[in-house]
Amino acid sequence: MGAHATPPPGAAPATLSRRPRPTLPALARASAWLGLTGFGGGLSVLGTMHDLLVERRRWLTDREFTVTATVSQMLPGGAAANALAYTGLRFHGPAGAVAAYAAFIAPGAIGVTALAALYVRLGVTPTAAPLLAGLNAAVVGIVASITLQMLRAAVQRPWQMGVAAATLLFSLGAAASAGEMAALGIGAGLVLDLGVKRMRLARFQRRARRPPPPVALPDEGMPLPAPERDDDPPATPADAPPRLPALALLSVPALGALGAMALLFLRAGLGAYGGGFAIIPHLQASVLAEHWIGPRQFADAVAIGKLTPGPVLLMATFIGYLVHGIAGAAVATAAVFAGPLALVLAVGAWLARVRSRRPVRAALRGLTPAVVGLMAAAALALGRSLEGRVELAIAAASLLTLVRFRVNPVLVMALGGGVRLALSLAGL
């Protein structure tokens, strides 16, 4: 019936029927509001989303929101955008997922496009140059602080340290893509965490062991909720991985410049585990190899993507505009978000059912250290664009501030840009 929402796995239909069900326009308006006010990205936006959807609107229960947030961080792309797409999928099917996802992204995409237009029209003026330099320096500190936070939360075993180190080396030395590194981490988790653990249990079943460390999700190290049961429930046909259509996108014959850009950003979006920062090393190498923009313009794109509301992946909008104007911005935005949205539609409900199974938890134990390595590579790649001691000092101050205090990263960016501009005006 159309009067009630489809109950999520484990939820009683009667419980859902007593709660208000959002209409599609209401869900889109709520998503647009979150996209307009979603400064800071990451878990801060999920906190705002919890307040709106659970506390104020009562569309979701606390348990349903926990499942939604968990699933959203298991997939590439922005956690908040994925969570809204999954919420839309629950209430209105694929149309609800697309509407919520697009409404959340639209405010930031419009803002980034407007800033890109000013950037192209006015150029980097003598006044704007130090401001952007300060923003870029603060972003380096922000990425480094998130990396340290995830390192403490997610890398607790020697093999996880090896995965993080290998990802860092391959990303910087071999220009490996984020998707390749994510696959490496997942494979390592399945083999080293799940396979070795089962062999050890078979040999030393009666030996007392320390409990395993908690599983961290690849978005700022947020812990995966503990399994609801000690043992995995028996597998059912519904728990089999859904079959995804083959992507015949290995090459783009005769599609031209916009087609090549679309493919590049589609692949980048599919590797954006833990958010947009993870794809920076490979994306930077790719766009510089195409001679679309220079290193400083890429750093400006990352800063603008972080400064504006919405996912950091909106840096693709900025790059697209610099290369091909409005058409490039539209194509790059659609391409970079298409992959994550397709995965939410295809496997979101399945992940909600199997999120506590041992193979999934083992895969996450390998994936999250890989994201840590990608984040470290991103900090180093962006750090190469810094010039002079002042910018290095701003990056270090931003890192220390975020490690020591709970401060919105956007405020840290604004202070970094302001300080650099003031010092420039003072002749320093």
Give the side-chain half-sphere CA count within 13 A for 302: 33
Quote the DSSP letter at residue 278: G
Taking 70 as the pLDDT cut, the residues of the chain under it are 1-18, 40-44, 124-127, 197-255
Residue 11 is predicted with a pLDDT of 47
- H-assigned helices in 22-78: 24-37, 43-50, 62-74
Cα separation, 270 vs 427, in Å, equals: 44
Tokens read off for 218: 């690849």
Cα separation, 17 vs 91, in Å, equals: 12
Residue 241 is predicted with a pLDDT of 57
Residue 13 is predicted with a pLDDT of 47
Residue 126 is predicted with a pLDDT of 61
Cα separation, 310 vs 275, in Å, equals: 11
Cα separation, 325 vs 113, in Å, equals: 9
- Residue among 81, 85, 97, 87 at smallest CA distance from 312: 81
Q: What pTM did the predictor assign?
A: 0.77
- Residue among 257, 244, 281, 249 at smallest CA distance from 382: 281
Residue 15 is predicted with a pLDDT of 47
Residue 200 is predicted with a pLDDT of 64
Residue 328 is predicted with a pLDDT of 95
Cβ(109)–Cβ(320) below 8 Å: no
Average pLDDT, the chain: 82
* CB neighbour list of residue 52: distance below 8 Å, 6 or more residues apart: 30, 33, 34
